[in-house]
Structure 1
Amino acid sequence: MALRIVIDEREKKSQIPEFLRKENININFAHLPVADYIISNDVAVERKTISDLINSIFDGRIFIQCSELIEHYQKPLILLEGNLHDLINSNDIPEKYKIMDRIPLIFEALSRIVIDYGIPIINVPSPEYSTKMLVTLAKKTKNNDNNGPLLKRIRKGNNLYKQQLSVLSSLPGVGNKLALKMLTKFGNPINVINASVAELSLIPGFGQARAKKVRQILDTVYTNNQSHHYQKTLDVEKNII
């Protein structure tokens, strides 16, 4: 029996559905509230180009997506197409320096995805290789049953609340659990941002050292000198992604 993959409607414009057909994969389109490709009842894949990933890091969307992935699937993963170094060396100069200035933020986010959420990131160069990876996953899982993956009834939660948690959990040393404690104590992110070291230290499990680090991040004035430093270290970092 042929393998089957369920694909989110928004992926129709990509090349992958057609590539999957050529691999004799039965595909079904559906409005998926979580993930882009459902491989089995346990395995779901979020596909992102490198530009998509960076944009979702900057606006905090990626952490909401990660939370939803681990909530509904036992073995989620992120399929990342492209290379950060190639994107930085593109002709879009403003975008290039915007990314260079935020390289530490990007690496921090990638670390959080893998360590805090436990979601592996598989890097591939192109849609063709994304297709090969999806086919391999489908064969590996054998779709878990003869009928392939089943669609789950997933109700989206309060996105505003998740976005608030995402904003707070992106602070250094603050994961989802501490972010929830911060939101519970202060009511909203702006009150957290305005809180003193002493007030932050009162949060159970937070501590004075973490509170000082958070205040340092929030209070330090940005300087353009940072971009020159990242330009010098770029060649060292380019092979990380």
Structure 2
Amino acid sequence: MPLICRGHRNVYVGETIRSRVRIPLVVDSNEPEDIPERLRELGVEIEVRKIAPGDYVLGPVGIERKTLNDFFNSMVRKRLFEQVQRLRDAYPQPLVILEGDLAEISTFRSPQAILGALLVLETTERVPVLTTADKGQTALLLSILWKRQEKGAAEYGLRHKPKAMSLEQRQRFVVEGLPSIGETLARSLLERFGSVRAVFSASEEDLKKVPKIGDIKAAEIVRLSNAAYEGDQKHFDDETSDADS
């Protein structure tokens, strides 16, 4: 299926964004491994780390990748436009990649709802939607974007807090900073333990009771929560003692 790129005046893929000095394409650590592998094969300089919101970041461009199933499930759970709003708040140039065979839309329970949501994103929300056939084509699209980036593009914060978040959204935002925890797992953890503090204080055994939190994720969460800070530390009691003396 050919790659489709719908035109928008704010899309970061214009003729003027060629560059000799390129910043890395930042890839969220939760993305399938074959996409960053393919990006490396295509000569793209990448950096894999946790991103929230979005799945890929290139300067001011924040990109959310969704398969058709992801897109439909986000609609059913009424989270699609919340996710898009967070992307818009975090990055000057939000972009959605819809991955899959568009002919399959007719096989979903409510194809008209999917098409309606795409229409709203494009016309009302003014968020460009690019469609790709599969992960390989997604990697190809990202490589083209990376090779055409603007010289000296600034690297924006990768966990930029959107404006006017509710308490629930701020709590999820904090928990999403844990290793391999995205929005869905952050929500599940908070529903299970009831507070951010309780999530960070939970034992490995309790964490593993949450669906999709296996041994590795549980161990990583506990290790990070209990690890000493490795940066420079100021001991305020010591400073007070020095001042008194």
State the TM bucket, normalised to the shorter chain: 0.5 to 0.7
1:49-80 deviation line (CA, Å, top 9, x unaligned): 11111111111121011101111212111111
Partner of 1:79: 97
1:15-41 deviation line (CA, Å, top 9, x unaligned): 21001111222211221111100011x
Partner of 2:24: 4
Percentage of matched positions with identical amino acids: 26
Partner of 1:151: 157
1:47 maps onto 2:53 in alignment? no
Distance verdict in 2 for CA 1:82–1:153, change over 3 Å: closer
Partner of 1:123: 131
C-alpha distance in 1 between matches for 2:76 and 2:167: 17
CA contact (8 A) 2:91 2:156 kept: no
- Aligned CA RMSD, in angstroms, stands at 2.4
Give the drift of 1:152: 3.9
> How many correspondences in the alignment?
148
Taking structure 2 as the reference length, the TM-score comes to 0.54
1:37 maps onto 2:45 in alignment? no
C-alpha distance in 1 between matches for 2:81 and 2:138: 22
Give the drift of 1:114: 1.2
Which one of 20, 42, 66 corresponds to residue 23 of structure 1? 42
More helix by share: 1
Any residues of structure 2 matched to 1:162-177 within 5 Å, and which? none
CA contact (8 A) 2:35 2:136 kept: yes
Distance verdict in 2 for CA 1:150–1:72, change over 3 Å: closer
1:134 maps onto 2:154 in alignment? no
Any residues of structure 2 matched to 1:101-116 within 5 Å, and which? 102-116=110-124
C-alpha distance in 2 between matches for 1:2 and 1:73: 19
CA contact (8 A) 1:50 1:81 kept: yes
Structure with the larger RCO, 1 or 2 (CA within 8 Å, 6+ apart): 2
Give the drift of 1:2: 5.5
Taking structure 1 as the reference length, the TM-score comes to 0.55
Structure 2 SS opposite 1:137: helix
Unmatched 5+ residue regions in structure 2? 1-20, 171-245
C-alpha distance in 1 between matches for 2:133 and 2:169: 35
Give the drift of 1:158: 2.4
